[in-house]
């Protein structure tokens, strides 16, 4: 067999990530085992009907042809309105690029900004695509540990300490996956100032921007309105329960947006227009269900956090956003992978080992609590039986 390319070989096989664990869990289910699912980060309910109907209607209306690479004008306009409403500035149309999900946008942003050998500072643990894309592009990883004692928030001082003359990009994410941490306004402002002073690209992943429990989301993009160096992503997957629709967007300096479009032309061409039409319905339609769902997540959060804290050897801080609990499990004496395997095989609870999000995830597990309170309670009891 002939060798595959070096760049692709730099992406290691996924053995402990959400899809790998889901496959293991489904195998056990096929063997007749009952599994309680906490591995995948997606809402457990359907997106509101008016969104699906808009997508179906758009197919009926014939919005099924190739369309503009950067996105159809009416969806881009809805995004301009959305950014103006939520971030306080109105980007120009040439700053917006529509992607099939935030995940895809991450790769394109890194590809548009990083040369081999450039340094990229990004949180650890964090959403795996940052590190894997950087590996693919042969950029140099500079890990920014997010610490439990700091509530997993990003520390501007730690970022400053890691900047060298090779630093090209800083990646931040708040609310954060896998910890649920929300970095506060003062800290985000400071990070944006550092990026400005040092003239470094700042990529702010705001995919959970509508999913905060107490604080209001603050965006690093406010500083330069994505004109100079800040690149923002947001999307429909989480708050609108549209994970399978694959729809997200980036707001970027016009030169970066243009380069990303050139790469899109040579890859996926465009996001289907009927999907973007559904996106318009999401952004422009009734938003009240988001608050209703966040109230529901808050109840689930409170149950899972107190449940996890009642398990010997576990310690869980209270997440301020998203739907992830990230307990420390060092008190159990097991590694994260050992414990996640034990919980799956013995307790029938599928969760993720922290190292699925990078080496600093060792000593933690991630539970996505986008599931019912009954399932959460059942899982806590099942874990307790296996642990004690
Ligand atoms: C931090 C973060 N960014 C981006 C994404 C990608 O979201 P999607 O591609 O579904 O829009 C995810 C998904 O879990 C995420 O957690």
Q: Tens of pLDDT along 58-78?
A: 999 999 999 999 999 999 999
In this prediction, residue 14 has a pLDDT band, given cuts at 50, 70 and 90, of confident
- The C-alpha R_g of the chain, in whole angstroms, comes to 21
Q: Which CATH number fits domain 65-284: 3.30.460.10, 3.40.50.620, 3.40.50.1000, 3.40.640.10?
A: 3.40.640.10
- Whole-angstrom distance, CA of residue 132 vs CA of residue 137: 9
- Whole-angstrom distance, CA of residue 322 vs CA of residue 377: 20
272 alpha carbon to ligand 1 midpoint, in Å?
Answer: 19
Atom of ligand 1 nearest to the CA of 106: 4
Return the sign of the alpha-carbon dihedral for residues 351, 355, 358, 360. Answer: positive
CB atoms within 10 A of CB 277: 22
Q: Which helix (H) or strand (E) holds 194?
A: helix 185-198
pLDDT tens per residue across span 96-125? 999 999 999 999 999 999 999 999 999 999
**Which pLDDT score, from 0 to 100, does residue 33 have?**
96
Domain ranges of the chain: 6-46+288-387, 65-284
Pocket test for ligand 1, best of 18, 97, 235 (most atoms within 8 A of CB): 235
Q: Does domain 6-46+288-387 have CATH number 3.40.1160.10?
A: no
- Cα–Cα nearest to 87, from 221, 226, 229: 221
Contacts (Cβ under 8 Å, ≥6 apart) of 169: 110, 113, 114, 118, 119, 120, 121, 139, 200, 201, 202, 203
Pocket test for ligand 1, best of 179, 180, 207, 370 (most atoms within 8 A of CB): 207
265 burial type by CB count under 10 A (0-12 exposed, 13-18 middle, 19+ buried) = exposed
pLDDT tens per residue across span 177-208? 999 999 999 999 999 999 999 999 999 999 99
pLDDT tens per residue across span 123-167? 999 999 999 999 999 999 999 999 999 999 999 999 999 999 999
**126 in ligand 1 pocket by Cβ < 6 Å?**
no
Atom of ligand 1 nearest to the CA of 178: 16
Atom of ligand 1 nearest to the CA of 41: 14
**101 in ligand 1 pocket by Cβ < 6 Å?**
yes
Task: Characterize the bridge pairing of strands 201-205 and 230-235.
Answer: parallel
207 burial type by CB count under 10 A (0-12 exposed, 13-18 middle, 19+ buried) = buried
Q: Which tokens hold the place of 262?
A: 């050139």
Q: What is the dihedral of CA 83, 258, 109, 199, to 10 degrees?
A: -80
**133 in ligand 1 pocket by Cβ < 6 Å?**
no
22 alpha carbon to ligand 1 midpoint, in Å?
Answer: 17
**248 in ligand 1 pocket by Cβ < 6 Å?**
yes
């Amino acid at each position: 067999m002939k060798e595959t390319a070096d760049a692709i070989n730099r992406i290691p096989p996924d053995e402990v990530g959400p899809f790998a664990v889901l496959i293991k869990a489904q195998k056990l289910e096929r063997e007749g085992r009952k599994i309680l699912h906490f591995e995948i980060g997606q809402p457990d309910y359907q997106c509101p009907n008016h969104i699906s109907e808009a997508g179906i209607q758009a197919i009926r209306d014939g919005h099924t042809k190739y369309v503009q690479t950067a996105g159809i004008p009416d969806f881009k306009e809805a995004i301009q309105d959305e950014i103006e409403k939520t971030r306080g500035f109105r980007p120009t149309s040439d700053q917006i690029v529509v992607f099939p999900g935030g995940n895809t946008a991450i790769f394109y942003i890194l590809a548009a900004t990083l040369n081999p050998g450039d340094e990229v500072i990004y949180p650890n643990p964090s959403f795996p695509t940052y590190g894997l894309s950087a590996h693919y592009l042969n950029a140099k990883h500079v890990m920014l540990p997010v610490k439990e004692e700091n509530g997993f928030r990003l520390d501007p001082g730690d970022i400053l300490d890691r900047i060298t003359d090779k630093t090209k990009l800083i990646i931040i994410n708040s609310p954060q996956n896998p910890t649920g941490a929300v970095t506060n306004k003062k800290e985000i402002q400071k990070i944006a100032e550092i990026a400005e002073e040092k003239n470094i690209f700042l990529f702010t992943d705001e995919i959970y921007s509508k999913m905060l429990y107490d604080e209001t989301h603050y965006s690093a993009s406010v500083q330069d309105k994505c004109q100079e160096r800040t690149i923002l992503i947001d999307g429909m997957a989480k708050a609108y329960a549209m994970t399978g629709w694959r729809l997200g967007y980036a707001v970027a300096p016009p030169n970066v947006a243009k380069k990303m479009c050139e790469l899109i032309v040579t890859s996926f061409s465009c996001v289907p227009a009927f999907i973007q039409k559904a996106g318009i319905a999401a952004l422009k339609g009734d938003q009240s269900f988001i608050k209703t769902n966040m109230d529901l997540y808050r109840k689930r959060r409170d149950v899972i956090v107190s449940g996890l804290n009642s398990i010997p050897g576990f310690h869980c801080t209270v997440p301020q956003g998203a739907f992830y609990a990230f307990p420390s499990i060092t008190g159990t004496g097991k590694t994260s992978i050992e414990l996640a395997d034990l919980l799956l095989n013995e307790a029938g609870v599928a969760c993720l080992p922290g190292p699925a999000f990078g080496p600093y995830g060792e000593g933690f597990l991630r539970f996505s609590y986008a599931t019912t309170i009954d399932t959460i309670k059942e899982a806590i009891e099942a874990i307790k039986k296996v642990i004690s």
